[in-house]
Homo-oligomer: A and B are copies of this chain.
């Protein structure tokens, strides 16, 4: 079967366009990207492409199963290739996104299935925490902040319970 984007589109009576190829390329290159980031990347090559088209194309590619999105914490969803399966580890201090193999959650998946009948989709998940660098900084006593997450407040009350 035809696995190319063009082929996938044609099967549905849809058309191949330069914009669609560029959006897909951008998603592939960027790894995890918000619609805005994808748009910027696309516009580096084709400045005329409108962000509306990016939104529409991302939706379409997702419907086709070519890309998927995950919610990595704050506002915007991020898109990545559907094939690119992994667990996201988002640092809520610096925003960095680490990746881990989906096997990381296989034990958890078994337990949610057994206990609650809940089938875990490991790839759509974003685990939140503090990355190695920020943890080191923090331990070294550098109390700097640059993000919106509530880790400071959380820690502050950690002892309350």
Q: Which A residues are closer than 8 A to B by beta carbons? A: 1, 3, 62-66, 68-69, 71, 73-74, 82-83, 89, 91-92, 98, 100, 104-105, 107-109, 111-112, 115-121, 123-132, 135-136, 149-151, 153-154, 156-157, 160-161
Residues in B with CB closer than 8 Å to A136 are 117
A123, closest chain B residue (CB): B154
Copies in the complex: 2
Q: Could you give 26 example pairs across A and B, Cβ below 8 Å?
A: A1-B160, A3-B160, A62-B153, A63-B153, A65-B154, A68-B153, A71-B74, A73-B124, A82-B157, A89-B116, A89-B118, A91-B118, A98-B118, A100-B116, A107-B107, A116-B131, A116-B132, A117-B136, A118-B135, A119-B129, A119-B135, A121-B128, A121-B130, A124-B149, A125-B128, A126-B126
Of A65, A68, A126, which is in contact with the most chain B CB atoms at under 10 Å from its CB? A65
Are B154 and A68 closer than 8 Å at their CB atoms?
yes
Q: In terms of DSSP, what is the predominant structure of the interface of chain A?
A: mixed
Residues in B with CB closer than 8 Å to A83 are 160-161
For the complex of A and B, the 6 pairs showing the least CB-CB separation, nearest first, are A65-B157, A117-B132, A124-B128, A120-B129, A119-B130, A65-B153
Provided the pairs A74-B71, A124-B92, A150-B69 are in contact, do residues A157 and B117 lie with their beta carbons within 8 angstroms? no
